[in-house]
Amino acid sequence: MEDELIRRLYQEFGSALLGHAMRLTGNDRQWAEDIVQETLVRAWRNAEKLERDPVLLRSWLFTVARRLVIDDRRKRSVRPQESELTPSDEAPVRDEADRTLAAIVVAEAMNGLTEEHREAILETYLRDRTVGEAAAVLGVPPGTVKSRVYYALRALRRALQDRG
């Protein structure tokens, strides 16, 4: 029964769904076909819950496709772009002098911050804690941590601009 539903969905809505997915993906056919396939898989998984009204089915399918594209775009935005390595990229020579100099400049700028601001930056950025976690460690409300981080970053930015 569920297999028959999926066949019927594909027959009735497949081409419209593919057209919708093509628009959403910027006419990337392979991506659009993947979106249609995943949309139909989700319909198959939720077959017992789906409404049988064609208007509601179409709406549900289009919404699922749109959300899949949005999720894919979000995933792609947090991943670095892949690129081909060229022979000159394979064995880069690292010069740690620039990195060391930058670390010294940032450390000096950090020393110019108030203790509260320095602690907020240390907990949130250097120890990779959330605002809530940093607030618990520092014993202050989360809003205070947010405020301290905001003003600390402003002061750091100014200090680093002054240092060039």
Query: What confidence score (pLDDT) does residue 147 get?
Result: 92
Output the pLDDT for position 82. Answer: 66
pLDDT on residue 146: 92
Contact 154, 103 (CB under 8 A): no
Question: How far apart, in whole angstroms, are the C-alpha atoms of residue 159 and residue 131?
Answer: 24
Q: Where are the domains of the chain?
A: 1-78, 96-162
Q: Which of 3.40.50.11890, 1.10.10.10, 2.10.260.10, 3.40.50.150 is the CATH number of 96-162?
A: 1.10.10.10
pLDDT at 158: 86
SS3 6: helix
**Fold exhibited by the domain 1-78:** Rna Polymerase Sigma Factor; Chain: A (1.10.1740)
pLDDT along the chain (164 residues), means of 10: 73 87 90 90 80 82 91 79 63 70 80 88 87 91 92 86 76
Q: Note whether 1-78 and 96-162 share their fold.
A: no
Which pTM was predicted?
0.46
DSSP 20-61: HHHHHTTS-HHHHHHHHHHHHHHHHHTTTT----HHHHHHHH
pLDDT at 140: 93
